[in-house]
Amino acid sequence: MKTVSLRLMFGTSLVTLAGLAGCAAPQKTLNPFALQRENDRLRAAMKQYQRQVADYRTKVQEVDADNEQLQSMLAEQQATNRRASNGRDTLAMGGPRDVQDDDNQDWADDPKEFGPARGGTGRAPSRGDSDSAGGWLPIASVSGAEVNRDGNAVRIRVTGANLFDPGKATLRPGASKVLDQVGSAIRSNYAGQLVGIEGHTDGDPIRKSNWKDNHELSVRRAMAVYEYLSSRGGVPSDQLYVAGFGSNVPIAANNSSAGKAKNRRVEFVIQPSDTWASQQWRSRN
């Protein structure tokens, strides 16, 4: 009986172990050839992506270059349009003509000899600007005065200290010396030109004198010079006109005594024949 029981128990155990072995999941084996194929596929996809990125960058660079070229062309076109517009405005306003030859360009580059004395255009005079033999108004020599070219015009500048006492509009006794020089220059060099007499003051407000303001003082001083030239200077009164600018057109800073002295002045502006004012004056004479 013991032998039978042992055999049954041993057989049952074998059956149980066999059953357990049959229920376990089979282990999957990795295929190295499949892994190699997957790696090759991924490498090919990566190379294709890199080529696409390189193509995209190339196209971006080309677009940037095209944009730069377009911007350059646009800027050039805008500059051309501005030049054309400025040319039309100059022609419409009867503005200065272009310098035509190298000689005129040399004149324009010499501010000491031909530069504007006050707010002038700085343009070299062209040969049709006046009736003088050289084609432009001459620079006369006037003792006690500064003579400069102002665009097509000529300015004779006399400081106020040579003409008036401070706050006064009555000519000083010694003023006749320089005014006689101015009158002689006008008669000799600018007999056919319209001449403006401009009065200018410094920036100090009127305090002690009886003038209302600097404009009134500048006009009265210009009138005093006009009366002298027309009555004693031998200059026809219809060749002269008067303007007072007060302190509006300084030629130096008004924060120093030297600057104020320069601003107190009388200027004689000889107009070229081709200006509108000169044409109107000539048409009446």
Cα separation, 193 vs 196, in Å, equals: 10
What integer pLDDT is reported at residue 112 of this predicted model? 36
What is the domain range of residue 224? 147-284
- From 129, 180, 179, 128, select the one nearest 150 (Cα to Cα): 129
> pTM for the whole thing?
0.54
Number of domains composing the chain: 1
For residue 30, is it within any domain?
A: no
Spatial separation of the C-alpha atoms in residues 42 and 48, rounded to whole Å: 10
Question: In whole angstroms, what is the distance from residue 28 CA to residue 38 CA?
Answer: 18
Structural domain contains residue 82:
no
Task: State residue 277's pLDDT score.
Answer: 66
Residue 138 within a domain: no
Chain-centroid distance of CA 177 in Å reads: 43
**Bridge partners, residue 197, by sequence:** 242, 268
* pLDDT score recorded for residue 205: 92
Q: What is the pLDDT of residue 42?
A: 87
| The amino acid at 259 | G
pLDDT confidence of residue 149: 93
User: Per the domain annotation, does 140 fall within a domain?
Assistant: no
Q: What is the pLDDT of residue 13?
A: 52
Task: State the CATH number of the domain containing residue 165.
Answer: 3.30.1330.60
Q: Mean pLDDT per 10-residue run, the chain (285 residues)? A: 48 50 56 81 86 81 74 71 60 42 39 40 42 69 93 94 94 95 96 94 90 95 97 95 96 94 96 73 70
What pLDDT was estimated at residue 39? 84
247 falls within a domain: yes
As given in the structure block, the two tokens for residue 214 are 């600097």
Q: Which two tokens stand for residue 133?
A: 């033999």
**64 belongs to a structural domain:** no
Residue 252 lies in a domain: yes
Q: What is the pLDDT of residue 241?
A: 95
Q: Which positions ≥6 away from 226 have C-beta within 8 Å? A: 197, 237, 240, 242
Residue 97 lies in a domain: no
- What local confidence, expressed as pLDDT, does residue 125 receive? 43
